[in-house]
Structure 1
Amino acid sequence: MTDKNVERASKLDTATLSDALDKLRINGQAYKIKGRDPKFRLAGRAYTLSYGPAANPPGTVGDYIDDVPPGSVLVLDNDGREDVTVWGDILTEIAHRRSLGGTVINGICRDVSLCMVLGYPVFSKDSWMRTGKDRVQLNAVNVPVNLGNVRVEPGDLLRGDADGVVVIPRTCEQQVLDIAESIERAETAIREAVRGGMRLDEARAQFRYHQLQTAQDN
């Protein structure tokens, strides 16, 4: 069954969605989380994983991948750590084969070359090769997590593109998408008016550009 709101989000860029989130005073812009390739795009619902320091004896980084529903976006919260990875080439290959929507990491990944070859979208703070094995372990699956100072609940809607990642809370996604689509329509109308010879300030005034992102109570 097609998820209509995932489909709607996939047609909007993160900048437009960010403006809609701002209008509703929702913190949904994942700070410093970027695609390992600027061409990467993703849209889907969050399947969350929470990591922490390894115990003694250490647990594993997780063998969860075969249980993730196709189309899901994996959200791995490694507490923003940049010294150890929680994602590499084996996971990329399996995720790509199982048609997952992408992977987003509050931390770093490694084996970037394979995700670029396969076109599997991975978004993270950075990349580095040092393994997380015996350094971190998977603590919980499908619990609330942090992604670039944004709370992510299982099932929340994520959209990623060259500008980064936004998180749209499931509880208000209809409102966010409605506003984002109205912003998109207004900005398209402004571009068309300017191309037709109208002054930019006149076009912005006509289509209420300066009110598009003005915050309102949600």
Structure 2
Amino acid sequence: MSDDNLDRAGRLDTATLSDAMDKLGIGGQCLGIKPLDPAFRLLGRAVTFQYAAAASPAGSVGDYIDDVPPGSVVVLDNGGREDATVWGDILTSVAHRRGIAGTLIDGACRDTDLARSLGYPVFSRSYSMRTGKDRVQLETSDTVVTIGDARVAPGDIVRGDADGAVVLPRSHEDAILAAAEEIERAEASIRTALDQGMRLDEARKQLNYHQLQRRNAD
């Protein structure tokens, strides 16, 4: 299915999208979340899962992967826990085979060598060998979650690169993308001016660069 806004987001980096969100006063930066490999790129719409501490008896960490649509990003909120992993090699293998776009975790993953060797994008707070089994359990899915202080709702655009990950709230994605594209055009013009010998301060002044990134007045 065609998804023009997803295509537009894929042509922009996370820094530019972050600047656009700052300009509009919209949150979405997944602070503290990094790619396992700086070469990883993440782009897709979110399918969300919420974890909680394990009950007694403990529930499953989750066997949901076969129901995630290809092209989606698996988004796992484990509350930032770094002592109980919620993603490993079997999930990576199945997700890669099914054409899932990647995984975003506020928490820890493991079996990182396989993700790197397959080129399957995993963005997480950390990684560890320690299993989440009997420590955490999948509590609910298709719900609003929090990843690195960013609110993520099902269907939101997730974009990740070497600098981290951002989430574009669906109700604001048109405005964010338009602002980011404007910033991108201005920065491209500045680089052209610099290549032609102009001073940086003059190029930024002529292209109204600082105003372009300043937060809009309420």
Name the TM-score, length of structure 1 as normaliser.
Answer: 0.98
Name the structure 1 match of 2:144: 144
SS in 2 for 1:158: strand
Quick one: distance in 1 between partners of 2:81 and 2:214?
34
What amino acid is the match of 1:205? K
Identity of aligned residues (%): 63
Name the structure 2 match of 1:31: 31
Alpha carbons 1:156, 1:167 under 8 Å: kept = yes
Quick one: distance in 1 between partners of 2:213 and 2:195?
23
Name the structure 2 match of 1:179: 179
Query: What do the CA deviations read for 1:118-144 (whole angstroms, capped 9, x no partner)?
Result: 000000011101000111000001100
Query: What do the CA deviations read for 1:35-74 (whole angstroms, capped 9, x no partner)?
Result: 0000000111000000001111110011100000110001
- Where in structure 1 are there 5+ consecutive unaligned residues? none
Name the structure 2 match of 1:100: 100
- Where in structure 2 are there 5+ consecutive unaligned residues? none
SS in 2 for 1:212: helix
1:24-173 equivalent positions in 2, closer than 5 A: 24-173=24-173
What amino acid is the match of 2:46? A
Quick one: distance in 2 between partners of 1:124 and 1:16?
21
What amino acid is the match of 2:198? M
What amino acid is the match of 1:14? T
Name the TM-score, length of structure 2 as normaliser.
Answer: 0.98
Quick one: distance in 2 between partners of 1:213 and 1:198?
21
Quick one: distance in 2 between partners of 1:122 and 1:2?
24
Quick one: distance in 2 between partners of 1:135 and 1:38?
30
Name the structure 1 match of 2:6: 6
**Deviation (angstroms), 1:172:** 0.7
**Deviation (angstroms), 1:174:** 0.5
Quick one: distance in 1 between partners of 2:186 and 2:136?
47
Query: What do the CA deviations read for 1:93-113 (whole angstroms, capped 9, x no partner)?
Result: 000001111000000100000
Quick one: distance in 2 between partners of 1:44 and 1:124?
16
What amino acid is the match of 1:177? L
Q: Is the alpha carbon distance of 1:106 and 1:168 closer, same or farther for their aligned partners in structure 2, counting shifts above 3 Å?
A: same
SS in 2 for 1:137: strand
Cα RMSD after superposing both structures: 0.8
SS in 2 for 1:90: helix
SS in 2 for 1:16: helix
Runs of 4+ in 1 over 3 A off after TM superposition: none
Q: May I ask how many residue pairs the two structures share in their alignment?
A: 218
